Amino acid sequence: MVEIRSVRKSFGSHEVLRGIDLEVRTGEVTVVLGPSGSGKSTLLRTVNHLEKVDSGRITVDGKLVGYRRSGDKLYELREREVLRQRTQIGFVFQNFHLFPHLTVLENITEAPVSALKRPRAEAVAAAHTLLERVGLAEKAGAYPGHLSGGQQQRVAIARALALEPKLLLFDEPTSALDPELVGEVLDVIKDLARQGTTMIVVTHEIGFAREAADTVVFMDEGVVVEQGPPAEVLDRPRQERTRAFLSKVL
């Protein structure tokens, strides 16, 4: 489903991704762990073409992200085509980026109505179902500024799910959630995986990784240090760096 090959990305002189190779199979949940600043968010952003890579290649569902290949040439895609690709990819940002001037309900229905051309009534019904699922049924009419941190995060998750994307990118989707809600989000993710949605989840919660992941990827300083099934990576890490990192879990 997702293939990341030799991806490099620098900000100024600082190389944040230093040759990332990663493969994510359809319907699998890949959890990315790693210390702060190791490039996890940046990697997710390149998959959604919010950052252009400096070199390397990313394909989603066999299609290059942001480019079209023909012979030995790569043609840059027009914005419209990139946007079409993006409706297939849901993104939950680390700091949510909710639309502050729209109500919770409008935040969620905006994309289905305008990007997928769903009838509004249908989108609203779907949004209410989603809100129910994340425990925010009664906040449909509230503005994001009036929500608690955890409530905002759940709206962000609902917003991404509303597009029913084939691929979901979660950047720390449970950072503001209490243990009960983490459990609920975990259920949602497992549900989605069962329905065939592919997911990449960046998280700091090892417990979450253990429960949710088919594959765990450990990144450090812009490279993938180790990857494999959670039982292997989390319990019998081969790399010294991974071991050091995991030993700090409280």
Partner 1 sequence: MPPTPPAAPAPSPTGEAPAAPVLTKEAEPAPPRVVPVRRTGQWAAAAVVLLLLAMAVNSVVRNEAFQWGVVAEYFTTPAVLRGLGLTLWLTALVMALGFVLGTLLAVARMSANPVLKSVSWGYIWFFRSTPVLVQLLFWINIGALYPQLGLGIPFGPEFLTVKTVNLLGPLTVALIGLTLHEAAYAAEVVRGGLLSVDRGQTEAAQSLGLGRWRRLRRIVLPQAMRAIVPPAGNMLIGTLKGTSIVSVIAVQDLLHSVQLVYHRTYQVIPLLLVATLWYALVTTVLTAGQHYVERYYGRSERDR
Ligand X SMILES: Nc1ncnc2c1ncn2[C@@H]1O[C@H](COP(=O)(O)OP(=O)(O)OP(=O)(O)O)[C@@H](O)[C@H]1O
Q: Point out which residues bind a second copy (CB under 8 A).
A: 11, 33-37, 40-41, 94-95, 146-151, 154, 171-172, 175-183, 186, 204-208, 210-211, 244-246, 248-250
Burial classification of residue 138, based on how many CB atoms lie within 10 Å of its CB (0-12 exposed, 13-18 middle, 19 or more buried): exposed
How big, in percent rounded to 5, are the helix, strand and coil portions of the chain?
A: 40, 25, 35
Determine the Cα–Cα distance for residues 171 and 89; give it in Å rounded to an integer. Answer: 13
Residue type, 24: V
Residue 163 backbone class (left: φ over 0; alpha: ψ -120 to 50; beta: rest): alpha
CB of 38 to partner 1, least distance (A): 8
* Shortest Å, Cβ 85 to a second copy: 25
Q: Which does 95 bind (CB under 5 to 8 A by kind): ligand X, Mg ion, a second copy, none?
A: a second copy
CB of 202 to ligand X, least distance (A): 7
For the bound state, the minimum distance from the C-beta of residue 95 to ligand X, rounded and expressed in Å, comes to: 10
Report the alpha-carbon distance of residue 203 to residue 151 in Å, rounded.
18
175 binds, among a second copy, partner 1, ligand X, none (CB under 5 to 8 A by kind): a second copy
Query: Which amino acid is it at 88?
Result: Q
The encoded tokens of residue 18 equal 């230093």
**Interacting residue with ligand X among 21, 25, 37, 78 (CB under 6 A):** 37
CA gap 133, 158 in Å, rounded: 9
Q: How many residues does the chain have?
A: 250
Q: How many residues bind Mg ion (CB under 5 A)?
A: 4
Indicate which single residue of 132, 148, 179, 191 sits in contact with ligand X (rule: CB under 6 A).
148
Among 148, 187, 238, 239, interactor with Mg ion by CB under 5 A: 148
| 13 part of the interface to ligand X, by CB under 6 A | no
Interface contacts to ligand X, rule CB under 6 A = 11, 14, 16, 34, 36-42, 94, 146-151, 176
